[in-house]
């Protein structure tokens, strides 16, 4: 898929304030600082479309972008933000849960995991919850540039093994680096294929 346009639409604090669900939508979620906003910028080829920061907790709302006039891309706030208050975490949970369950045009949620880390409890719990809700998801390993090839293979295997404790079949999995533009074509191909299947239905 060629990206011809990418435009910020709106920041919403709940699913009901999101744009009308007129186009297929793909969302990006994962722990705070995992690299969601950076990956979105890399995908659409725009440096500062989604706001990034080295301080966790930068993205706090549901951010919609229109891509190619064809589909919506959504930057979600990160979970597991250590300094967030209990009430802020609760609000986050409610906002995201409602959005994920009710957003009717949500075709796939990409769950981002830091390639450098062993499987984290909070990520496994989130993926398990998505599975129980029967929400379509794909896994994206981020910051692959920080690892040697062998370390990356080991890390991916550890995550797959962890997921296979609960899943019979693994979700689609992508390895990426926003820094080095790794995984861009694969992700855009996946989105493109999903859009075509949606058209055919």
**Among ligand GTP, Mg ion, none, partner that 109 touches (CB below 5 to 8 angstroms by kind):** none
How is residue 195 written in tokens?
A: 């859009």
Query: Can you name the residues that pair with 139 across neighbouring β-strands?
Result: 111, 173
* Distance of alpha carbon 20 from alpha carbon 38, whole angstroms: 26
183 part of the interface to ligand GTP, by CB under 6 A: no
Q: Which is nearer to ligand GTP, 53 or 133 (CB)?
A: 53
How is residue 188 written in tokens?
A: 């855009």
Q: Which stretch binds Mg ion (CB under 5 A): 36-44, 60-68, 92-100, 116-124?
A: 36-44
- Rounded to whole angstroms, the maximal C-alpha distance in the chain is 45
63 part of the interface to ligand GTP, by CB under 6 A: no
Question: Do the Cβ atoms of 177 and 143 come closer than 8 Å?
Answer: yes
Question: Do the Cβ atoms of 110 and 74 come closer than 8 Å?
Answer: no
* Distance of alpha carbon 119 from alpha carbon 165, whole angstroms: 12
Question: Of residues 93-132, which lie at the interface with ligand GTP (CB under 6 A)?
Answer: none
Question: Of residues 13-42, which lie at the interface with ligand GTP (CB under 6 A)?
Answer: 32-38
Minimum Å gap between C-beta 18 and ligand GTP is 18
**Among Mg ion, ligand GTP, none, partner that 156 touches (CB below 5 to 8 angstroms by kind):** none
Q: Which is nearer to ligand GTP, 49 or 195 (CB)?
A: 49
| H or E stretch at 171 | none
Q: Between 133 and 172, how does the x/- string for binding to ligand GTP read (CB under 6 A)?
A: ---------xx-xx--------------------------
Sign of CA dihedral 129, 99, 183, 120: negative
User: Using only C-alpha atoms, what is the Rg of the chain?
Assistant: 16
The residue from 8, 12, 21, 57 that contacts ligand GTP (CB under 6 A) is: 57
User: What is the contact surface with ligand GTP in residues (CB under 6 A)?
Assistant: 32-38, 52-54, 56-59, 77-78, 142-143, 145-146, 177-179
């Amino acid at each position: 898929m060629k990206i011809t346009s990418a435009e910020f639409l709106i920041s919403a604090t709940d699913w009901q304030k999101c744009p009308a669900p007129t186009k297929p939508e793909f969302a990006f979620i994962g722990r705070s600082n995992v690299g969601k906003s950076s990956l979105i910028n890399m995908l659409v080829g725009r440096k500062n479309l989604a706001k990034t920061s080295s301080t966790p907790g930068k993205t706090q709302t549901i951010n919609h972008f229109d891509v190619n006039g064809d589909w919506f891309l959504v930057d979600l706030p990160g979970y597991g933000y250590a300094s967030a208050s209990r009430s802020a975490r609760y609000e986050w949970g409610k906002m995201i849960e409602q959005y994920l369950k009710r957003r009717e045009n949500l075709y796939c949620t990409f769950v981002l995991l830091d390639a450098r880390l062993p499987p984290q409890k909070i990520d496994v719990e989130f993926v398990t919850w998505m599975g129980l809700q029967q929400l379509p998801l794909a896994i994206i390993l981020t910051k692959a540039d920080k690892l040697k090839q062998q370390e990356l293979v080991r890390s991916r295997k550890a995550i797959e093994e962890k997921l296979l404790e609960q899943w019979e079949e693994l979700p689609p999995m992508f390895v990426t680096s926003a820094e080095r533009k790794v995984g861009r074509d694969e992700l855009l191909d996946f989105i493109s294929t999903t859009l075509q299947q949606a058209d055919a239905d």
